[in-house]
């Protein structure tokens, strides 16, 4: 399930979102057990979208209702106002929030065009900037491709087409070795999605995917949420990680109920 992969990526990634040691031994650091391991707004909104689509409920209303239950989950300033205010209009955001919450769309829809249209819709309720929409569509499409047996090269080629090297600083065309020395914290879709997908591209299983994320000084929980669904679908699970146990332990009963629905 892509949603499980995305939520697990958020939980594990949260350990180093704001607490990454300068010389982190990302190849050997324990992946679980850090005091900062927790779910964030990425998981809350991912599961809100799943709930809305599964139950046929209004998307915005469900995002607001679920989001308000977790006011300190880590929302960005504008999205916090979107959740808690009286007006829920899109605000032309290109932030990576549209990509981190879309995994269920790639998991749920079989028809390619329907999947892409729904990914665009889930972004556009808040993140209606073209880059915000693209980030959601690309993320959902990569999950869809992994589910349908596409190769890593095919997924890479698709992402490269959407984020070409000449136009994007962190295009998937750049290796992690090339990105590491110059990557700077970036909350945009265009600065997160192709780099997160590169973390998947250079991985050999779910664990190495997360370690690749830890090798960058990045928005690590959101990288995990963006490409975690792709990694889970492509590798068919979490390998030696007790992913299901972690999810049950760290999610609230309400969120876990949505997850396993």
Domain coordinates in residue numbering, the chain: 2-17+36-260
Euclidean distance between the first and final Cα of the chain, in Å? 11
Reported as a single tens digit per residue, the pLDDT across 195-232 is: 999 999 999 999 999 999 999 999 999 999 999 999 99
Assigned token pair, 15:
């350990």
DSSP line for 7-32: HHHHHHHGGGSS---TT--TTTS-SS
Backbone conformation region of residue 3, classed left if phi is above 0, alpha if psi is from -120 to 50, else beta: alpha
Distance between CA atoms of residues 195 and 216, nearest Å = 9
The pLDDT assigned to 21 comes to 83
The pLDDT assigned to 151 comes to 98
- pLDDT-based confidence at 104, cuts 50/70/90? very high
Rounded to the nearest 5°, which phi and psi values hold at 238?
A: -115, 10
Q: Judge whether residue 6 has pLDDT over 80.
A: yes
DSSP at 95: B
The pLDDT assigned to 248 comes to 97
Query: Is the full-model pTM beyond 0.85?
Result: yes
Measured CA to CA in angstroms, residue 221 lies from 84, 99, 157, 164, 227 at distances of 23, 12, 25, 24, 10
Distance between CA atoms of residues 214 and 235, nearest Å = 19
Assigned token pair, 201:
């591209």
The pLDDT assigned to 145 comes to 98
Q: Which residues contact 143 (CB under 8 A, 6 or more apart)?
A: 2, 103, 105, 106, 107, 229, 230, 233
Reported as a single tens digit per residue, the pLDDT across 128-168 is: 999 999 999 999 999 999 999 999 999 999 999 999 999 99
- pLDDT-based confidence at 35, cuts 50/70/90? confident
Is CATH 1.10.10.60 what the domain over 2-17+36-260 is classified as, yes or no?
A: no
- pLDDT-based confidence at 59, cuts 50/70/90? very high
Lowest mean pLDDT among 27-41, 132-146, 149-163, 179-193: 27-41
Distance between CA atoms of residues 175 and 168, nearest Å = 13
């Amino acid at each position: 399930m892509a949603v499980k992969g995305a939520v697990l990526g958020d939980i594990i990634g949260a350990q180093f979102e704001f607490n990454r040691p300068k010389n982190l031994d990302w190849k050997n650091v324990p992946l679980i057990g850090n005091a900062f391991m927790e779910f964030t707004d990425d998981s809350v909104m991912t599961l809100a979208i799943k709930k809305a689509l599964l139950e046929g409920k209004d998307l915005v209303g469900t995002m607001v209702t679920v989001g308000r239950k977790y006011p300190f989950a880590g929302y960005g300033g504008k999205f916090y106002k979107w959740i808690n205010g009286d007006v829920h209009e899109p605000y032309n955001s290109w932030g990576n929030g549209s990509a981190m919450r879309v995994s269920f769309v790639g998991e749920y829809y079989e028809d390619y065009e329907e999947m892409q249209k729904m990914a665009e819709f889930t972004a556009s309720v808040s993140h209606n900037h073209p880059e915000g929409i693209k980030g959601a569509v690309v993320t959902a499409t990569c999950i869809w491709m992994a589910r349908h047996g596409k190769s890593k090269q095919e997924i890479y080629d698709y992402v490269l087409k959407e984020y070409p090297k000449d136009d994007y600083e962190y295009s998937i065309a750049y290796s992690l070795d090339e990105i590491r020395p110059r990557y700077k914290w970036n909350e945009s879709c265009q600065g997160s999605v192709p780099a997160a997908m590169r973390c998947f591209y250079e991985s050999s299983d779910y664990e190495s995917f997360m370690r690749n994320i830890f090798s960058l000084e990045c928005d690590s929980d959101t990288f995990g949420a963006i490409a975690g669904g792709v990694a889970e679908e492509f590798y068919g699970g979490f390998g030696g990680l007790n992913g299901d146990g972690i999810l049950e332990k760290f999610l609230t009963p309400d969120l876990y109920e949505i997850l396993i629905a």
